[in-house]
Amino acid sequence: MLTFIVDDNPDDRLIILHQLRGELAHATAVEIGTAEELDAAFAHHRPSLVITDLALGWGTGIDVLQRTKSQHPACPVIMFTGAGDEQAAVEAMKMGLDDYVVKDPRRLSRLRQAIRDIADRGGRSAQAQTPAASPDYPPGGELLRRVRDQVQDVAQSLAGASGLSGGAQDERIGLITAKISDVLEELDAAMAQPHPET
């Protein structure tokens, strides 16, 4: 799994790299600390995962998210950023952000969990795309599969929120609400499309 680690702080990039390798020992990482390094990385590599800070000295994690999703729509993005950025993270979730983790030494296991969840989801997607595991879906079947995966993610997030308290629980519930909104918007868009007569 080729991962872009985007953070202008080299110490934070090292923390992310350590958590990534702790979860996926054979992961390959491209460390990105400047806009030029980001340009070069996108020019030469196709990431399987992007982990970015929100506040970069030369741009924002929102910019990184938008660029990633425009060039590689299926590539998951995790935002690993300081406390106080929760509202921006909720907005980013609406734009396709896959997960958000607060930079806090007590929450490093949460970053590992986010990486693990994405790796597991990637494995499920690869299995679903193999001919043996991919039956002929009816029209809209791909949408239903994506919705199922998103609902499963929401269920896992709800399970994780049950052990939190106070602000952490409110933060998690905000992210869950954003994910549910995304699912509903996707369903509304699909239902608004004309369907051929069968």
> Which of 16-25, 129-138, 158-167, 175-184 has maximum average pLDDT?
16-25
Question: Band of the pLDDT at 25, cuts 50, 70, 90?
Answer: confident
**For residue 181, how far is the Cα from the chain centroid?**
16
Nearest to 161 by CA among 153, 152, 151, 169: 169
Pairwise CA distance, residues 26 & 38, whole Å: 22
Domain residue limits, the chain: 1-130, 135-198
pLDDT of res. 106 = 84
Kindly report the average pLDDT of the chain as a whole number. 77
Residue of 186 and 14 predicted with greater confidence: 14
Write down the number of H helices and E strands in the chain. 7, 7
pLDDT of res. 130 = 40
Question: Band of the pLDDT at 104, cuts 50, 70, 90?
Answer: confident
Length of the chain: 198
Residues 73-92: tens digit of each pLDDT: 999 999 988 766 667 877 88
Instruction: Map residue 138 onto helix, strand or coil.
Output: coil
Domain spanning 1-130: which superfamily?
Response regulator (3.40.50.2300)
Nearest to 35 by CA among 51, 17, 56: 56
Question: Band of the pLDDT at 141, cuts 50, 70, 90?
Answer: low
In this structure, the strands spanning 49-52 and 59-60 are unpaired
Residues 27-61: tens digit of each pLDDT: 899 999 999 999 999 999 999 999 999 989 899 99
Q: Which two tokens stand for residue 146?
A: 């994506």
- 190, pLDDT greater than 80: no
Instruction: Map residue 32 onto helix, strand or coil.
Output: strand
- 70, pLDDT greater than 70: yes
Residue of 167 and 2 predicted with greater confidence: 2
- 157, pLDDT greater than 70: no
Contact by Cβ (8 Å): 166, 191: no
Instruction: Map residue 101 onto helix, strand or coil.
Output: strand
Contact by Cβ (8 Å): 65, 52: yes
pLDDT of res. 184 = 64
Residue of 155 and 97 predicted with greater confidence: 97
Nearest to 110 by CA among 163, 68, 67: 163
SS3 labels along 53-93: CCEECCEEHHHHHHHHHHHCCCCCEEEEECCCCHHHHHHHH
